[in-house]
Chains A and B, each alone.
Chain A
Amino acid sequence: MHTIWRVILVAFLCGSPLGYGYTPGEMVDSKMPTKTLMPKVKVDSGRLEWVPYAMDLSPWPTLCEDDPRAMPRPQHAQYVAPLRGDAVRGRMIVMDTRRGNCVTCHEIPGEDWPGTFGRKLNHYKQLRMSDADIYQQIYDVRITAPRAVMPPFGALGILSDQDIRDVVAYLQSLE
């Protein structure tokens, strides 16, 4: 009940109700499989089209002071050894823009246009970091480096426990 009122409040404060039947003001269509909509500007038209976006972003708070949804707080990872990660799968996650997307910010071997937000991970094994520390870094960077602009992949549920283990195995394979 509480949530419903909050949603109504958001509807009221974050934008004009649109009749899309979800959280108004936010461009979503609950009848589409991914809900999230993106604008499409059609040439010589006075109407703005909204088409389905590839991902469902509805669980996340949007840019609005009164959005009642909270972001997850910083979390300590519950890592249990042994690692049991698959480095090949880990690499796929690292390169996948919908999942790890690490290459957007870090230099990774075999990528020609890496980002420069974070340090180069090319020879990460040489740093001799423990599996547990790398796991925490990926799970929730806010514990290890609060000011780093890196998504807390585990705390936000973007990567699963096994996904993170696979990524750690991949980083530990970079001699």
Chain B
Amino acid sequence: MRNLIVVLGLLLAPAWADEPYKEYTPAEHFEPHVSGDSQLTGTYRYWKDPTKLDLRLAGHPDDSWKLNWKHLDYPFNKEMHAGHLALDRGLVLFNKLNRAGTFKNCLVMYRLNGQYETTLRGLRTHFPAYRTDLRRVAGLEEVIEHCAALESETLQNGSYDNSAVSIYIASQSLGMPIKIDVSSGPLREAWKRGERLFHQKVGRNNMSCASCHVGRVGQSLRATVVTSPYGDAAHYPVYRDRFGITSLHIRFAQCSLDLGFNALKPGSPAYTDVEVFLTALTNGYPVSVPSERP
């Protein structure tokens, strides 16, 4: 009995101990819609409509940051890049996985409140979503990994093949606005956690995402200029020259290392929370794949 109490005490000790000291960047007000950028960085008017970007801004090294890199999306960017190869492979892989039709069913079903769809069209626009089968909020790539496993295939979250399938699925929502509802339920909780994490200062530089993406938009770190956090989730997985096909969680892992703290495994709850936060900041912006970023 005594031992049991000791063991229980040790188990619960962390919960009683003081919160470890961490600082938070003072929070700005964030809107779960891409137009909220107007209050934050004011660049929204330059990249609001991907079909009407200002050619002169794009060609200007000091001003191109105002486009939030949208000049690298189609239709402004009609270059053939490695993202297109991933899209092609994604289609092949999807058809292979979906031979029995069960892979697609797994992808489209199991959303909270029984909002089932029957086609891939629009599917990308409401991920991350709460999955009743996983009993948690999950990003599209996590769900692809899960549904592929049910077909006895390994498509690890963040791997090339997983991202290829994700790009293919996103291509079925091309031009459709991102639309996740963070007004209630588990997604609201995830949005709130994600927002807090976005402001949490950690790592060897004691910085938060907000340290750069809120107060410092338009300023440069050596040759790279920081851009708005709004509208960043519409073009993932994206092709990056130095890193290859990069899912949003892989991008977070790269950010983490750049900022001086260890990367988390793609699909980790903290990354999913930040994904929910950034995706809500992209609400209303059209899906654009395949795309590239530096």
Q: Which of B14-22, B103-111, B166-174, B179-187 binds A?
A: B14-22
Number of contacting residues on B, CB 8 A? 66
CA distance A152 to B250 in the complex (A): 28
Chain A residue with Cβ nearest B10: A5
Q: Are A57 and B156 in contact (CB under 8 A)?
A: no
Name B's interface SS: mixed
Is there a chain A Cβ closer than 8 Å to B75's Cβ? Answer: no
Q: Are A113 and B222 in contact (CB under 8 A)?
A: yes
With A44-B160, A63-B264, A68-B20 as contacts: A151 and B221 at CB distance below 8 Å: no
Residues of chain A within 8 A of B243, CB atoms compared: 41
Which residues of B lie under 8 Å from residue A27 when comparing CB positions? 253, 262-265
Choose among B11, B160, B223, B246 the residue that contacts A42 (Cβ–Cβ < 8 A). Answer: B160
Kindly list chain B residues whose C-beta atoms are within 8 Å of the C-beta of A43. Answer: 160, 244-245
Interface residues of A in 7-38 (CB under 8 A from B): 9, 13-16, 18, 23, 25-28, 36-38
The reply to whether A115 and B256 contact each other, CB–CB distance below 8 Å, is: no
* Closest residue of A by beta carbon distance from B9: A5
Asked if residues A38 and B216 are in contact (CB atoms below 8 Å), the reply is no
B55 at the interface (CB under 8 A from A): no
A25–B262 alpha-carbon span in the complex (Å): 10
Determine the distance from Cα of A18 to Cα of B163 in the docked complex, in whole angstroms. Answer: 21
Does chain B have a CB within 8 A of A122? no
Of the candidate stretches B36-44, B120-128, B200-208, the one touching chain A is B200-208
A2 within 8 A of partner (CB): yes
On whether the beta carbons of A158 and B204 are closer than 8 Å, the reply is yes
Q: Which 7 A-B pairs have the closest CB atoms?
A: A70-B20, A15-B268, A151-B205, A46-B161, A70-B21, A26-B262, A48-B159
